[in-house]
Amino acid sequence: MGENKQLQIRLRVIASGVLFLSLVFLILLYMATIANGLDERESAEVNTVVTTSTVNAARGNITDRYGRTLVTNRTEYNVTLDVGAMGDVDDQLKVLTTLLDICREQQVEWADSDLPISTSSPYTFTTDTPFLYQGDDGKWIQTRLGKLCKAMDWSNTSSTTAAQLVAQMKKSFQLDTGKYTESEARALLGVLYSCYLREEEVLYTTYIFAEDVNIDLISVIKEKNLPGVEIEPMATREYETDYAAILLGQVGAISAESWEEKKDYYEKNDYTMDAIIGLSGSESAFEKYLRGTSGTKRVTAANDGDTLTERYVDEPQVGGNVALTIDIKLQEATEKALNDLVPSINNKKGGAAAVVIDISDGSVLAAASYPTYSAVTYNKDYEKLYQDKQKPLYNRAFLGTYAPGSTYKMCTATAGINAGVITPRTTYKCTGAMDYYGTIFHCWERSGHDREDLADAVRDSCNIYFYNVGINAGIDALTKTAQSYGLGEATGIELSESTGVNAGPAFSEKLGATWHQGNVLSAAIGQSDNQFSPLQLANYIATFINGGTHYKAHLLKTVKSSDNSKILYQYEPEVLNKVELDQDAWNAIKKGMGEVIEADSITDFEDLEADGIKVGCKTGTAQLGKTGLYNGLFVSFAPYDDPQIAICTVVEKALSGASTSSITAAIMEYYFSEDATLERVEAENQLIS
């Protein structure tokens, strides 16, 4: 009897346990159903609206080589519109009229660039191809306006005027009732057009009505509780340095023209029309690393516009962090040197540039163009910058090309050595001029240099010596050698660059001119048609002084995951070619470069020399046609006995190359300063740890 009672108790306990577990399972199942099916339930039971939208991911950060943040993100708040959630046309007009009134009161601008029609009467199209444009294959393609016109049954023939189209649109959107002023109607028309592009699936993106709005506007909009009007947080770029603007670049929305031109590319790579992309500089060059992966958000709203639930279907993934090769402190010193010294060198007549390269791998440590601008205030200053005749938006360091003048003579010397027409001990007598088939070619030193060997000729920049080398080696040897040093060739830098020009018969033919044998004399001293960028000239010196290893120039160092836990890309030095040069010849050319400062009585490097830093260099004074003006160039390397860096500075319309030496001295003084050296060591240790 007792045993039966105990058995019954056990069975009751087991049954209770099973019942409890069943209840738990049912509760969990119910909760899961709620979590996964709430949107559909609410939509069916309480007449809600479920919308799915793309959420753009934040871009990765940009840092310098030591991890100092240059570009990051901050959160701004945008006003977005969903016309489908506003109700019928009457309700839409009420909501949008209220919203526009709020913006006018708060003095907030809104986006009105989609509709390619002027914002005031008399109306005109703001594009030559409002309805159709011709693609690269010659086929005619409908624009977004053309597609919407077809969807809305608006006239869009070649004879349709902007005024006629506005009248049709007013009628469709019930703006022709006399209730609105012309200005109010046009404003509403622009907003409705942008909304309907999305509604009619001509454009599959959220309509960002106003960007980076203030808290006052947000408060008023929230108070009004306008259906279809949302406040959305968004990551936007924030620049944490006033320097390196030409290297960092800018971001922005894809333009309508760009979208139409590259639609297949954008769609293939999952871009939406309102995506923010890199437009220039590193932002553009390293777009594939910096851009994140968009997410998807599902929102369930009641029919009065109130949001009931909001959840991510897919979380957006932040882009990778890009580390550049530049040292931002060195970049700052370089830009300051140009800004402080150029005006006194060329009397504010032109621009300038400077490039610093690590000779061991082609890394660009600094690259500056003068005048320049700050990326922080770029948007505010754009119109003024664009109209500035000195072109501060132009990257002279990579895109500017200049006759190299006497800085080319190490190239001529290399060509002569490798062609077998000179040795380091070959001498030529300079009397200040030479006759070449009836034409007199002068040395810059009209009294002459007397007899000089290779090292002497480099030191004194003797034109007569290099005229003879050029004549005997020939233009083909000069061109081949220049190309091996990367002159007149792409450096491989990731940003836009000019490839420059090597003087010779081929280029003369392109110009429709005749190449004369006497032109080789001018080419041999860096004149004629020779044109190279400061980047090319810096890399040429780096190639020479490192013993002839021609590295691809580069700006990208590493790419890491957004949390810096993984290395996604690590740059490995890329050798483009080797320049062969006899060791004795290399020593002689280097010796000549090491004696230039004393020979030219250049005093700017005295402080460096006092600290034991000897500098090798070459000046260049390149004539600008028959204007009587010159560009000043200065190429250099240091330290002389154990070179680390090569520098090229160019100052337009300077008195001479030697007059620009103060810029290079200022850059080197920072680079070799105790503070800079200590900072580099500490930064490198932090990266390792």
The beta strand positions in 295-402, using DSSP E, are 295-301, 307-314, 321-324, 352-358, 364-370
pLDDT in tens, 222-273: 888 898 898 888 888 999 999 999 999 999 888 777 877 888 888 888 887 7
pLDDT score of 126: 87
194 with 66, same domain?
Answer: no
CATH number at residue 640: 3.40.710.10
Angle between helices 409-419 and 583-594 (to 10 degrees): 160
Q: Which residues contact 130 (CB under 8 A, 6 or more apart)?
A: 116, 143, 145, 146, 156, 162
pLDDT in tens, 549-602: 999 999 999 999 999 999 999 999 999 999 999 999 999 999 999 999 999 999
pLDDT classification of 38: cutoffs 50, 70, 90 = very low
464 with 428, same domain?
Answer: yes
pLDDT score of 26: 58
pLDDT score of 16: 62
Rounded (to 5) percent helix, strand, coil in the chain? 40, 20, 35
Which residues, listed in sequence order, are joined to residue 622 by a DSSP beta bridge?
Answer: 631
Q: Which residues contact 286 (CB under 8 A, 6 or more apart)?
A: 62, 278, 322, 494, 556, 559
Question: For every residue of 112-126, which 3-state class applies, written as one string?
Answer: CCCCCECCCCCCCEC
Does residue 6 belong to any structural domain of this protein? no
Average pLDDT (20-37) is: 55
Where among 152, 187, 205 does a domain terminate? 205
Whether pLDDT at 472 is above 50: yes
169 with 240, same domain?
Answer: no
Average pLDDT (513-531) is: 95
Does residue 25 belong to any structural domain of this protein? no
Residue among 364, 327, 355 at smallest CA distance from 553:
364
pLDDT score of 406: 97
672 with 542, same domain?
Answer: yes
Does residue 1 belong to any structural domain of this protein? no
pLDDT classification of 41: cutoffs 50, 70, 90 = very low
Does residue 215 belong to any structural domain of this protein? no
Does residue 568 belong to any structural domain of this protein? yes
User: What span, in angstroms and rounded, lies between the C-alpha atoms of 475 and 493?
Assistant: 27
Biggest alpha carbon distance in the chain? Answer: 138
pLDDT in tens, 609-658: 999 999 999 999 998 877 788 999 999 999 999 999 999 999 999 988 89
The beta strand positions in 57-160, using DSSP E, are 62-63, 69-81, 132-134, 140-142
74 with 89, same domain?
Answer: no
181 with 278, same domain?
Answer: no
Rounded to the nearest 5°, which phi and psi values hold at 678? -65, -40
> What radius of gyration, in Å, describes the C-alpha atoms of the chain?
34
Tell me the torsion sign for CA atoms 473, 458, 551, 393. Answer: negative
Average pLDDT, the chain: 88
Rounded to the nearest 5°, which phi and psi values hold at 305? 100, -15
Average pLDDT (68-93) is: 88
Six-digit token string for 664: 């290079």
pLDDT score of 372: 96
pLDDT in tens, 287-323: 999 998 888 878 787 766 566 787 888 888 899 999 9
Whether pLDDT at 13 is above 70: no
pLDDT classification of 478: cutoffs 50, 70, 90 = very high
pLDDT score of 71: 96
pLDDT score of 367: 99
The beta strand positions in 332-468, using DSSP E, are 352-358, 364-370, 428-430, 433-436, 439-442, 450-452
User: What span, in angstroms and rounded, lies between the C-alpha atoms of 490 and 492?
Assistant: 5
Q: Tell which wins on pLDDT, 197 or 271.
A: 271
pLDDT score of 605: 96
CATH number at residue 269: 3.90.1310.10
Range of the structural domain that residue 531 is part of: 328-374+394-688
Does residue 271 belong to any structural domain of this protein? yes
Average pLDDT (486-491) is: 98
61 with 117, same domain?
Answer: no
101 with 113, same domain?
Answer: yes
358 with 278, same domain?
Answer: no
Does residue 225 belong to any structural domain of this protein? no
Does residue 20 belong to any structural domain of this protein? no
pLDDT classification of 414: cutoffs 50, 70, 90 = very high
pLDDT score of 29: 54
pLDDT score of 306: 67
The percentage of residues in the chain with a pLDDT greater than 90, rounded to a whole number, is 57
pLDDT score of 39: 47
Strands 295-301 and 49-55: antiparallel
Six-digit token string for 86: 């506003």
Asked whether the beta carbons of 619 and 657 are under 8 A apart, the reply is yes
pLDDT classification of 482: cutoffs 50, 70, 90 = very high
Q: 511-548 burial string, b = 16+ CB within 10 Å, else e? A: eeeebeeebbbbbbbbbbbbbbbbbbbbbbbbbbbbeb
Q: Tally the domains of the chain.
A: 3
139 with 245, same domain?
Answer: no
95 with 148, same domain?
Answer: yes
360 with 506, same domain?
Answer: yes
